[in-house]
Chain A
Amino acid sequence: MPQTMIEVKDLAKDYGLVKALRGISFEVPAGEVLGFLGPNGAGKTTTMKILTCFMAPTAGTATVNGKNVLDHSLEVRRAIGYLPENTPIYTDMTSLEFLQFICSVREIPHNQRKKRIRELAEVCGLLDVLAKPIGDMSKGYRQRVGLAQAMLHDPPILILDEPTSGLDPNQIVEVRELIKEIGKEKTVILSTHILPEVQATCGRVIIIADGKLVADGSPDQLAAGQSKNSYRVLIDPDKNEGSPYRGGNGSLVRALSVKLESIKGVKSVKESGGEDDAIGLLISADGDADLRREIARCARDNGWLLLGMQRHHATLEDVFRRLTGKKASSAPTKLESTKPKAEDEDGEKDSGAVSASESKADEKDERDADAEADVKVDADKADADKADADKPDADKADAEEDEAVEEEKKEKSK
């Protein structure tokens, strides 16, 4: 049973009228790398500022290394290495001077200072710029100084607010490796907007939205627990052959769905992205089992022509969007409503294409935050489209999935 390093209970923080945190609770055992996710303004930085004793919570308690942040502020701060958001450091100092300043405030013994600074300068790629004023550095180098500063005193706990923002891809990979390495012995909390980063570095993820905790688990658990697997199939029911499925499209879809839903593990089937003479279906399944064979068999047994099938793993990004995207999508909704109906439907097809092509392999690709944001916006728009178009089926399916999430959360909280 690992020791609990950080314990947060019902933490709430108001900035005047703004409720930044509305009661979040979590625990971090020693040696865990915890990723903080959440949209802008969710309260990640606020939580970190409370944990690092920068400010007091309005309600609730936070304990670091067994010490309450309010009562044992100094001890807590000694145990933590903190990289604040946007790396605010004294710009008129050189990085060497700054690191020496930190050494002295952290009371690192004189005879170790030189060695420590050299080690960290090496690790963080600062050797060439030690004599450069921080104000003259690029953002990425400043970020490196911030990282070096946080680790200088070899703290048991590291709290890093967007540690890789502003770094180049090489450095991002290095920092992730570094965090993973550190995470073997130390407790790390990091916040980020780069989801692949969480999958690459964190053993556990917490998603905060609007000051509340909406998910907590390992990246894989969350992805698995979310919408499980889904399969996108394209079926030509072969109606010309005098099969029993001749008739209106709606009844056809219903007939197909009934057959497919009888497969063990299939949760729901909904129509999505068909072609002129073929019906597109989105099959959601429970559990991890691969149902492609069963689906193909079902098609064969019923005499349908299976034109295409694609399996889609739920990713952390899906989870994130599902749990936190509602707010974000409400803004573009208005824009969309001015579009003609036909385009709406196009939009939906597109969204299907986007999610279908997002396999896990894609997810691991290096992507910068901007590109990712683009994808997200597209998806959000698509969500909005879905909501706009009168598609009871789609809505129902969405609602079902939301319910599933709710249940998930309830189970967690037990």
Chain B
Amino acid sequence: MSVGKTLTIARRELGTYFNSPVAYIVISAYLVASGALYFLQVFLIKEATLRDFFAVQPLLFIFFAPAISMRLLAEEKRSGTVAMLFTLPLDDWDVVIGKFLAAMSVMGVGVLLTLAYPITISRLGPLDWGATIAGYVGLLMMGGAYIGIGLMASSWTKNQIVAFIIAFIGSFGLYLVGKLLPLMPASLAPMLRYISLDTHFANIARGVLDSRDIVYYLSIIGGCLFLAKQSLDSRRWR
């Protein structure tokens, strides 16, 4: 693995995102959706807080992240460029991490643009910037987990739509287990709470950066990237 090659892959991938309308459309849709949902809430409760903004993010990301990640590997397979890419002297990790970073950057652009909301809000009343920044860190971590799931899904198929649906189901499942906690048997609750994307994010969004939550997101990202790498590598197994 080499940092230079990983960044080369990431740069190329980013070029593709921003050379086509995909990135612009996805980011705009995300901004419109999160902005609309949020400001409706703000005007109702008349309080300068981003709590409600963060509250809708896990749900929004279920659409936002797979829309970004679906093309990462599926498109290469469909167009045949895999034959070019994987016969270059690149480690599979270079490709997987490079692509992950590119998708994260696109997502990051979307997330950074939402900083307009706290900035607007802070003029209306006092805003807890510490909690806000913690929330954004959590948002990027959670986004990373969603993108990881999406990248893995994209490594399994050459159809972008299929990649989207698999990623959607995967992330929705991890989101749902948190919401269904009250309905589950008590013995399963701790485990389900642990695997739920949502509960970890809720902690962070409250302004508590706990190492357990960070470990959770990093292990989801690592696990998914590993499986994506294995899926690419399996061509060379026998």
Binding site for B on A (CB under 8 A): 49, 52-59, 70, 73-74, 77-78, 80, 82, 84-86, 88-93, 97, 101-102, 104-107, 149
Query: For this complex, into which size category does the number of interface residues on chain B fall?
Result: 20 to 34
Q: Which of B1-58 contact A (CB under 8 A)?
A: 4-5, 8-9, 12, 15-16, 19-20
Residue B84 at the chain A interface, CB threshold 8 Å: yes
For residue A389, give the distance in angstroms from its CB to the closest CB of chain B. 45
Inter-subunit contact A56/B88 (CB<8 Å): no
For residue A35, give the distance in angstroms from its CB to the closest CB of chain B. 21
Inter-subunit contact B236/A88 (CB<8 Å): no
Inter-subunit contact B81/A90 (CB<8 Å): yes
Residue B117 at the chain A interface, CB threshold 8 Å: no
Inter-subunit contact A105/B5 (CB<8 Å): yes
Inter-subunit contact B8/A92 (CB<8 Å): no
Residue B212 at the chain A interface, CB threshold 8 Å: no
Q: Which of B65-80 contact A (CB under 8 A)?
A: 79-80
Which single member of B4, B19, B83, B235 contacts A104 (CB below 8 Å)? B4
Which single member of B8, B80, B87, B91 contacts A52 (CB below 8 Å)? B87
Inter-subunit contact A92/B88 (CB<8 Å): no
Return chain B residues, CB-CB under 8 Å to A53: 86-87, 236
SS of A interface (majority): loop
How far, in angstroms, from A40 to B82 measured CA to CA in the complex? 22
How far, in angstroms, from A174 to B34 measured CA to CA in the complex? 58
Which single member of A70, A88, A92 contacts B80 (CB below 8 Å)? A88
Residue B90 at the chain A interface, CB threshold 8 Å: yes
Return chain A residues, CB-CB under 8 Å to B16: 90, 92-93
Given A84-B84, A88-B81, A105-B88, A57 and B12 contact (CB-CB distance below 8 Å): no
How far, in angstroms, from A93 to B11 measured CA to CA in the complex? 12
SS of B interface (majority): helix
Return chain A residues, CB-CB under 8 Å to B20: 92
Given A90-B81, A92-B16, A78 and B89 contact (CB-CB distance below 8 Å): yes
For residue B141, give the distance in angstroms from its CB to the closest CB of chain A. 30
Return chain B residues, CB-CB under 8 Å to A86: 80
Inter-subunit contact A77/B235 (CB<8 Å): no
Return chain A residues, CB-CB under 8 Å to B90: 105
Return chain B residues, CB-CB under 8 Å to A57: 238
Binding site for A on B (CB under 8 A): 4-5, 8-9, 12, 15-16, 19-20, 79-84, 86-91, 235-238
Inter-subunit contact B88/A77 (CB<8 Å): yes
Given A74-B89, A77-B88, A92-B19, A54 and B12 contact (CB-CB distance below 8 Å): no
How far, in angstroms, from A82 to B91 measured CA to CA in the complex? 17
For residue B10, give the distance in angstroms from its CB to the closest CB of chain A. 12
Find the B residue at minimum CB distance from A78: B89
Inter-subunit contact A54/B81 (CB<8 Å): no
Which single member of A89, A90, A102, A107 contacts B4 (CB below 8 Å)? A107
How far, in angstroms, from A78 to B90 measured CA to CA in the complex? 9
**Cβ-Cβ contact count across A and B, 8 Å cutoff:** 77
How far, in angstroms, from A78 to B238 measured CA to CA in the complex? 22
Inter-subunit contact B81/A101 (CB<8 Å): no
Inter-subunit contact B87/A82 (CB<8 Å): yes
Find the A residue at minimum CB distance from B80: A88
Return chain B residues, CB-CB under 8 Å to A49: 83, 87
How far, in angstroms, from A52 to B83 measured CA to CA in the complex? 9
Find the B residue at minimum CB distance from A80: B87
Given A53-B236, A54-B235, A56-B235, A90 and B12 contact (CB-CB distance below 8 Å): yes
How far, in angstroms, from A408 to B80 measured CA to CA in the complex? 39
For residue A98, give the distance in angstroms from its CB to the closest CB of chain B. 9
Inter-subunit contact B91/A74 (CB<8 Å): yes
Q: List 9 A-B contacts (CB under 8 A).
A: A53-B87, A55-B235, A84-B83, A88-B79, A88-B84, A93-B15, A93-B19, A105-B5, A106-B89
Return chain B residues, CB-CB under 8 Å to A91: 79
How far, in angstroms, from A82 to B86 measured CA to CA in the complex? 11
Given A88-B79, A92-B20, A93-B15, A54 and B87 contact (CB-CB distance below 8 Å): yes
Inter-subunit contact A84/B238 (CB<8 Å): no
For residue A45, give the distance in angstroms from its CB to the closest CB of chain B. 9
Return chain A residues, CB-CB under 8 Å to B91: 74
For residue B2, give the distance in angstroms from its CB to the closest CB of chain A. 8
Which single member of A56, A77, A106 contacts B237 (CB below 8 Å)? A56
Return chain A residues, CB-CB under 8 Å to B86: 53-54
For residue A255, give the distance in angstroms from its CB to the closest CB of chain B. 62
Most chain A beta carbons < 10 A, residue from B5, B9, B91, B238:
B238
Inter-subunit contact B89/A105 (CB<8 Å): yes
How far, in angstroms, from A91 to B91 measured CA to CA in the complex? 23
How far, in angstroms, from A101 to B83 measured CA to CA in the complex? 16
How far, in angstroms, from A73 to B87 measured CA to CA in the complex? 9
Inter-subunit contact B84/A55 (CB<8 Å): no
Inter-subunit contact A77/B87 (CB<8 Å): yes
For residue A159, give the distance in angstroms from its CB to the closest CB of chain B. 9
